[in-house]
Each structure stands twice: as structure tokens, then as C-alpha cells.
Amino acid sequence: MTSARRILLVHAHPDDETINNGATMARYVAEGAQVTLLTCTLGEEGEILVPELAQLAADQADQLGGYRIWELRGAMDALGVTDIRFLGGAGRYRDSGMMGVPANGHPRAFWNADLDEAVAHAVAVVREVRPQVVVTYDENGGYGHPDHIQAHRVAMGAVAAAADPAYRPDLGEAWTVAKVYWCCVPRSVLQQGIEAMAAAGDETLFQGVTSADDIPFAVPDDVVTAAVDGTAFSSHKDAAMRAHPTQILVDGPFFALSNNLGLEVLGVEYYRLVQGERGPAGPGPEGWEDDLFAGLPA
Ligand SMILES: CC(=O)N[C@H]1[C@@H](O[C@@H]2[C@H](O)[C@H](O)[C@@H](O)[C@H](O)[C@H]2O)O[C@H](CO)[C@@H](O)[C@@H]1O
Ligand SMILES: [Zn+2]
């Protein structure tokens, strides 16, 4: 049976969905919405935080992509998400590595994807799922990773193309997504996390960042338009993060990637509405929506 409320999240690598939207996904699953994850690559070029798995790396057995599919399924089990898709099918597009590395030139690197082809794959998902809400990254992919930038381009291109009845009718009936959001983290929230890390001092495994201005994905508070309170699902998000051990280390209320820079695990997740009508404000003082489906027919 199709749920009344349907949300599609478009991400670059296994782990981005949990880091950016884990609590939101768990909350909407619990509320009976259909939550669909579309991940564009398998994360083949990732670093590996688990020493026993180091040989899976791209420059050795090159098996990290398959392993991260398994990690992703475990993370989605923790959140209750069952609809997990890979753009063009698992393995179609390869993790491009960080901007400027040789892996950017791999023939299957997502950064080299034919955008029209990649958008068509995403349109097929949009027209099948028919989500009222789509979530992806801003035009810089949050922090400038090529796969994040490309995921943004594919997601935004697919939202536009899916709505056009003249575009590829073979990919399904046209569907207009009502609201599109970009993931974001307000600078003030990051600064609070930095101060919490500093207060933790030697109690945490991680290095501290000195200022939110040093974090590339910090945004001014005034561009945020929604805050989804998923604190009731923080344990789900914690478990989902721990399901990505090659990429994420969790230590109490903090997590870090292979750069060992500690960040707070956020139970409230933030969004910027970029397409569609803003719904009624939630109870918070900022006037932000507290539900991504706010203002849409029940
Ligand atoms: C969260 C995210 O997008 N992770 C990507 C990213 O990983 C970073 C990369 O390994 C970098 O070299 C490290 O310094 C940084 O700590 C990592 O987060 O890029 C990987 C390669 O494209 C990708 O697999 C991973 O999912
Ligand atoms: Zn990523």
C-alpha cells in the first residue's frame, strides 16, 4: 500500500544519509511515511577506519564499495528504512574521490557521469515513488565533494524533468515534487557543538574544531527554513552511524570521520526550502517549519 506521505532523499555515498538525515528518516518511518533513499555511488574510494578491513581499499582488493552496501543496509535497518536504491543500479556510478584526486578520472566516476543519463535514472525513481518532498545537497554539495555536487545536479535536474510530461514518457507519468530541501547545518548549532566538544576536553577521542567558520558546510542561520526534531530517534541515528564503521567513529554525543574532527551527533536536523511553498511555522522562536511536509495536504 502506498503511504500518503512520501519523501525521497538523494545522497552521494553510503553514510551521507545517516549523517545528514538519520533522525529525520527514522522519525518519518515511525510516523508511517514512505522513506526512499537514492544513493548515487557505493563509496569505493573511501578511507577505512577499521584496520582489519584495510585491504578492501580501492588501491588493494577494491572491495570497499560492496562492503559499504552492507553497511548501508545495516544503517537503514537501524532507522527502519526499507526502500534503498542506487542510481542506475548498484555499481553504475563509482565514487569519484575528493576533488582533484586521480580517481576523479575513472571512467565510471560519478563526477564524469553523462548528466542527462544520470538524471533519467533519477527521473524513473521520482516518477515511480511520486514523493511530495525531495531532500538533497546545496549546489556545493555541502562541502565541495564532487559526488555531492553531482548528486545535487542530478537531484535538481530530475525534479525539473520529472514534472515535464514531454520528458521521456517511457519513464512514467509526469510527477511534480511539491517541496525541495537542501541539507544544511546552522553556524550557531555547529558553534554550540564545538563548545560542547571543548567542554568534553580529554573525555573524547576526537580533535576539536576551533570555530564554525572553519567548517565548510556551516550556513548562516538565516538561510535555514526548517528544523526537524528527531531527538526521540537519536538512539536510532547513533546505531545507524555505528553501522558505517569504515567511515564513522562515534564517541558518546560526538562523531568523526577519518579526519578525526569531532562533530556533535544532531538529533535536530536542519533544512533549507529551495522549491515549493513554505508551510506554517513550527513552535520554535525562529519561525522555521518543524515538518518537511508542513503545508501539504494530509
Ligand atoms: C561524508 C562523506 O562525504 N565522506 C566521503 C569522503 O570521505 C572523506 C575523504 O575520505 C577524506 O579524504 C577524509 O579526509 C574525510 O575525513 C572523509 O570524510 O570522500 C570519500 C572518497 O570520495 C567517500 O568515500 C566518503 O563517503
Ligand atoms: Zn558523501
In terms of CATH, what superfamily is 6-275?
LmbE-like (3.40.50.10320)
For atom 1 of ligand 1, the residue with the nearest CA is 16
Q: pLDDT value at position 298?
A: 82
CB within 8 Å of 124: residues ≥ 6 apart: 171, 172
Q: What is the ipTM score, two decimals?
A: 0.99
Closest CA to 96 of 123, 69, 58, 125: 58
| Pairing, β 179-186 against β 218-219 | parallel
The percent of residues above 90 in pLDDT, for the chain, comes to 97
Amino acid in the structure at residue 141 = G
The average confidence (pLDDT) of the chain is 97
Place of cell 548528466: 115
Q: Is 168 helix (H, G, I), strand (E, B) or coil?
A: coil
pLDDT tens profile 193-224: 999 999 999 899 999 988 999 999 999 999 99
10 Å CB burial of residue 115 (0-12, 13-18, 19+) is exposed
23 near 230, Cβ under 8 Å?
A: yes
Residues found in the chain: 298
Mean pLDDT of 63-77: 99
Q: Is the pLDDT of residue 187 over 80?
A: yes
**291 is an annotated ligand-binding site residue:** no
**16 is an annotated ligand-binding site residue:** yes
Q: pLDDT value at position 151?
A: 99
Is 43 close to ligand 1, i.e. is its CB under 6 Å away?
yes
pLDDT tens profile 243-293: 999 999 999 999 999 999 999 999 999 999 999 999 999 999 999 999 999
Is 260 close to ligand 1, i.e. is its CB under 6 Å away?
no
Other Cβ atoms within 10 Å of 70 Cβ, number: 11
Closest CA to 147 of 11, 9, 49: 11
148 near 12, Cβ under 8 Å?
A: yes
For the chain, give every domain's residue range.
6-275
**13 is an annotated ligand-binding site residue:** yes
pLDDT bucket at 2, cuts 50 / 70 / 90: low
- Please tell me the number of the ligand nearest to residue 151's CA: 2
Is 0.90 topped by the overall pTM? yes
Q: Could you tell me if residue 192 is left (phi over 0), alpha (psi between -120 and 50 degrees) or otherwise beta? A: alpha
Mean pLDDT of 82-86: 98
